[in-house]
Amino acid sequence: MKRWLLALVLCLSPVFAQHPADSAFSHIYVSIEGGEQYPFGDLIDAVENSFYGGVGFRYAYLENIDGFILFDYSYFKPVPEGVKIYGAHQFSGKLGLDFKWKAIAPLAIGAGFVCDWVRGDYDEDKLDEISFHNDLGGTLTDNETEFGWFARLNLPLIRKETYNVGFNALWKELWTLPKRSEMLSVGVYVERRIW
């Protein structure tokens, strides 16, 4: 019995030896964010700029690395004339890591994966979904899910013990076919420390 207890203590000793500030989830923040999204590439001719709003969750992962999860919503209006949809609802989820280097502190550079869900806003009573499917915006009547990657800059502007206010600039690229879809998001966030 003593051997098992000694083995258990030895196996768990690295966990208890860590400094609490260096361990995962030693700091957790929740946030709200708002800003504007700017389409690039082929999207410039397809949709107008749009405002967005969202929520976030950030946690200490390692000493100089934070993990984060972000969710946001935006509504895009089409640019071309003759599009039969009024706009497109976009829900976006992002999962990534922020890297903090002392040389550029307090700026953090992050990257991760994005999943966007888009649905066209149209009048179901006035349009035949089957014949409409091949028109401009028609594929958005049955939901579209796109995956991609993003890079971001996170700059805390005001730092208090339990609150932070900061600026985010995020570039995302969706792996759509036949061409990629790119977008820049610029926003301000307010976050509160949970622990």
Q: Write out pLDDT tens, residues 72-93.
A: 999 999 887 777 778 889 999 9
Question: Which CATH number does the domain housing residue 130 bear?
Answer: 2.40.160.20
Say how far apart CA 80 and CA 86 lie, in whole Å. Answer: 11
Structure tokens at 12: 């768990």
- 67 within 8 A of 97, measured Cβ to Cβ: yes
Residue 162 lies in a domain: yes
CA 166 to chain centre: 15
Domain membership of residue 50 as a residue range: 21-193
pTM score of the predicted model: 0.79
Q: Write out pLDDT tens, residues 113-125.
A: 999 998 888 766 6
Closest CA to 27 of 77, 54, 65, 55: 65
Residue 189 lies in a domain: yes
Residue 10 lies in a domain: no
Residue 60 lies in a domain: yes
Residue-level pLDDT at 13: 45
Residue 12 lies in a domain: no
Total residue count of the chain as it appears in this document: 195
- 69 within 8 A of 97, measured Cβ to Cβ: no
Q: How many domains does the chain have?
A: 1
Average pLDDT, the chain: 83
Q: Where are the beta strands (DSSP E) in the chain?
A: 28-40, 50-62, 65-76, 87-100, 108-121, 144-159, 163-174, 181-193
Residue 33 lies in a domain: yes
Q: Find where tokens 């039969």 sit.
A: 84
Residue 8 lies in a domain: no
Residue 15 lies in a domain: no
